[in-house]
Amino acid sequence: MNRTDSRETAADLAADAALLEIAEGLGLSTLLDRASPFTHHEVMAAADVPESGATAFLDALLCAGLVERGEDPHHFLPCSDMADRRYAAGYLSWALNANRPYIDNATSFLREPAAAGAQYQRDGRRVAVSSRWIGSYGFYPGVISEITGRKPRRIVDLGAGAGGLLIHLLTALPDSTGLALDLSAAACEEAERAARRAEVGDRLEVVNRSIESLVEDHSPVRDADVVHAGFVMHDVVSRPDVLDGVLRACRASIADGGCLVVTDAVPYVADPRERSFSALFTYLHSSSMDVRLPPEEEWRAAFGRAGFSDVTCTPLRMPGSRMFVAAG
């Protein structure tokens, strides 16, 4: 980073993130992410705010360059680099909004982690939205490329949330089927609705269950060509028997030639490109979420114990993130 840049980079990024968070809260993200122009009236309708309010916020977006006027003066177009700016905003929003309870109560978490953890929890929606913004360039492209390249007939996503990744994959692979597993009933319902909207509902099964449950019941991963687990497997690493049981369930159930794709973060990466965000990510997981992220060698050892003989590890763009592909 060039800290003597003549541009005020931090001010630009902070303003973008705040304005995109406001837009998200007003229900305008869909308009801002689409390629076609939108109108002042659509802003009023989507946000359910009076004309003056829609004008005021559109003026801010125009001045910030997040939106431009179309040839028709009543038409507005998202800026051509919206995807880049939303990706950048994701880091700010994850660090300073989604993790707000951990930042504001840092002293309590260092004094009495268990009590603080019981009292102060993150808002799942803020975590999901900011993670999605980071993931747009931070890890989804690598994962999607890896999985679609394998042309899997059946894909299982562990910790699938609202099903975004699977719906994307099933849309790209029209002959494939998928199973979304998540602990959150609300996320599962959202995944079912989203799959119907995307017209892949008949090819997507949604299972409201914990990852741990795979130890006893392998059926959700049975005959999968790809099992994916993004930033969820670290939740079970503190219980090695559970981690080993889940990995063994995958190894035993995956179809011939299939693989397990684990996207996760490794701790305290020293690389200059990764060190700052990796430090925050590692510290918050350790101090506030009781998650000790395993380093690459521990992941490799765990895959080996479960019987996987061919394991690769690839850094993705999000600092500290790694994609493990376990096969064989």
- Chain positions 38 to 57 lying near a copy of itself, rule: CB under 8 A, are 47-50, 53-54, 56-57
Q: Residue 103, by phi and psi: left (phi above 0), alpha (psi -120 to 50) or beta?
A: alpha
Beta carbon nearer to a copy of itself, 103 or 198: 103
Contact 165, 144 (CB under 8 A): yes
- Least Å distance, CB 18 to a copy of itself, is 4
Q: Among 97-105, 166-174, 183-191, 293-301, which window interacts with a copy of itself (CB under 8 A)?
A: 97-105
Looking only at residues 240 through 299 of this chain, which bind a copy of itself when binding is defined by CB under 8 A?
268, 270, 272-284, 286-287
Stretch that binds a copy of itself, among 15-23, 179-187, 210-218, 224-232 (CB under 8 A): 15-23
Partners of 206 in beta bridges:
180
Q: Of the two residues 104 and 202, which places its CB atom closer to a copy of itself in the complex?
A: 104
Q: Are 70 and 29 in contact (CB under 8 A)?
A: no
- Interface with a copy of itself (CB under 8 A), residue from 96, 198, 207, 255: 96
CA dihedral 119, 123, 124, 130 (to 10 degrees): -140
Give the Cα separation of 292 and 236 in Å (integer). Answer: 10
Q: Which of 108, 132, 127 is nearest to 288 (CA)?
A: 108
Q: How many residues touch a copy of itself (CB under 8 A)?
A: 79
C-alpha to C-alpha distance for 73 and 69, rounded to whole angstroms: 6
For residues 147 and 155, is the Cβ–Cβ distance under 8 A? yes
Q: How far is the CB of 64 from a copy of itself (least distance, A)?
A: 4
User: Exposed, middle or buried: residue 272 (CB in 10 Å: 0-12, 13-18, 19+)?
Assistant: exposed
Chain positions 102 to 161 lying near a copy of itself, rule: CB under 8 A, are 103-104, 106-107, 110-111
Looking only at residues 300 through 319 of this chain, which bind a copy of itself when binding is defined by CB under 8 A? 317-319
Nearer to a copy of itself, 176 or 282 (CB): 282
Q: Which of the residues 215 through 244 are near a copy of itself (CB under 8 A)?
A: none
Regarding 100 and contact with a copy of itself (CB under 8 A), the answer is: yes
Q: Which of 91, 231, 308, 324 binds a copy of itself (CB under 8 A)?
A: 91
